[in-house]
Amino acid sequence: METSKSFQKLIRRGSNFLNCQYPIMCGAMTWISEPKLVSAVSNNGGFGCLAGGNAPVDILIKNIEETRSLTDNSFAVNLITIAPAYHEHLAMLKDQRLPYVIFAGSFPRDKEIAIAKASGAKVLCFASTESIAERMIRYGADGLILEGSEAGGHIGHVSTTILLQQVLFKFGDKLPVFVAGGMGTGKLMAHVMLMGAAGVQLGTRFVMTKECNVHQKFKDVFMRANARDAISTPQYDSKLPVVAVRALKNKGMQKFGELQLQLLLQMKEGKIGREQAQEEVEKYWIGSLRRAAIDGDIEAGSLMAGQSVGLLEREMTIKELITELVTDADCELIRLKSFFAD
């Protein structure tokens, strides 16, 4: 589509870094960001991210090969540092020669980033605090994804507006920083990029695309939800550190609270250790998300969604979504240019 010179200038850094037409990333969502969705995003000018999740390494390799068969454009593979097969995922990088690797779940060690970079990949890491951003840069990250607590799924505790000031303003000149968490419109995309962002990452809005192969009940509950319905889970005791998860409130969220209490009791009784308890937590979320997104169990399954769920108006194609984001961002730049010209 035709866009203004101002827009083309604004997106140049992020587009060049990601080797795509528009620096609009589709976040890697377990069970959701599969080859067809990822390739459709990349084929329509955005940047798709394949979810490694909890997949056995042979399944992940198969998904990478399928994605490559569906698009000639750039995409990333997202590796979850707390997944059981994580070290196998790392080991396969040298043979797969991926162009981009995104670390998620927790934060990678310097040696793990080095392994990914040695394979030829550009590495992106999440930054949910200023200190984590500094550490990831020191470890060799090529780019950062600043993700505020408004996001869906596993989240940090700091809002996007604070991270813009702590991370983007401080490190945006040093390396590309992409903004996630609450991103839902092209107008906001224009403003965060004017602040120095190289691009944006969205997740919840891509769920509501026709190419997203989730259960229709999953989409229906997203369409009915308000922003306040997307709540984050609590941590009951520091003895069992858990990464907060933002999802729509339902029985599945209540059951997670009960699971934490059960695990804390088992830890107190010496039946399990902290690491095993944390693994049980992750197993719960992965299985629960599948029940909702794939099987359609919207009562007991996990409805991971960001607060941008309140911005959803209708289901659309990925082409329509990216066109809307780009057009609205461009219109906002033209409006601002006119405003300052007076």
Average of per-residue pLDDT across 25-38:
95
C-alpha neighbours within 13 Å on the C-beta side of residue 27: 33
Do the domain assignments include residue 281? Answer: yes
Number of folded domains in the chain? 2
Instruction: Judge if 191 and 68 occupy the same domain.
Output: yes
CA distance 318 to 44: 7
pLDDT at 1: 82
Instruction: Judge if 220 and 130 occupy the same domain.
Output: no
pLDDT at 284: 84
Instruction: Judge if 115 and 252 occupy the same domain.
Output: no
pLDDT at 342 over 70: no
Instruction: Judge if 116 and 259 occupy the same domain.
Output: no
Instruction: Judge if 65 and 209 occupy the same domain.
Output: yes
One DSSP character per residue, 174-186 reads TS-EEEESS---H
Provide the mean pLDDT of the chain: 94
pLDDT at 84: 82
- Domain holding 242, by residue range, is 216-293
pLDDT at 119 over 80: yes
One DSSP character per residue, 289-336 reads HHHHHTT--TTTS--B--GGGGG----B-HHHHHHHHHHHHHHHHHHH
Do the domain assignments include residue 340? Answer: no
Do the domain assignments include residue 305? Answer: no
Q: What does the block give as tokens for 177?
A: 């920083």
Instruction: Judge if 175 and 221 occupy the same domain.
Output: no
Using one digit for the tens of pLDDT, what is the confidence trace for 40-55?
A: 999 999 999 999 988 9
Average of per-residue pLDDT across 300-321:
96
Confidence band of 237 (pLDDT split at 50, 70, 90): confident
Do the domain assignments include residue 288? Answer: yes
Instruction: Judge if 278 and 189 occupy the same domain.
Output: no
Do the domain assignments include residue 303? Answer: no
CA distance 52 to 118: 19
Do the domain assignments include residue 307? Answer: no
pLDDT at 331: 97
- Weakest mean pLDDT among 97-101, 254-258, 312-316, 334-338: 254-258
> Does residue 55 or residue 145 have the better pLDDT?
145
Using one digit for the tens of pLDDT, what is the confidence trace for 66-97?
A: 999 999 999 999 999 988 899 999 999 999 99
Instruction: Judge if 130 and 30 occupy the same domain.
Output: yes
CATH code: domain of residue 96: 3.20.20.70
- Weakest mean pLDDT among 60-74, 131-145, 285-299, 325-339: 285-299
Instruction: Judge if 11 and 153 occupy the same domain.
Output: yes
Q: For residue 152, give the amino acid letter.
A: G
Instruction: Judge if 203 and 245 occupy the same domain.
Output: no
Instruction: Please state, for a pLDDT cut of 90, what percent of the chain lies above it.
Output: 79
Using one digit for the tens of pLDDT, what is the confidence trace for 174-228?
A: 999 999 999 999 999 999 999 999 999 999 999 999 999 999 999 999 999 999 9
Instruction: Judge if 268 and 159 occupy the same domain.
Output: no
Do the domain assignments include residue 304? Answer: no
Instruction: Judge if 220 and 156 occupy the same domain.
Output: no
Do the domain assignments include residue 44? Answer: yes
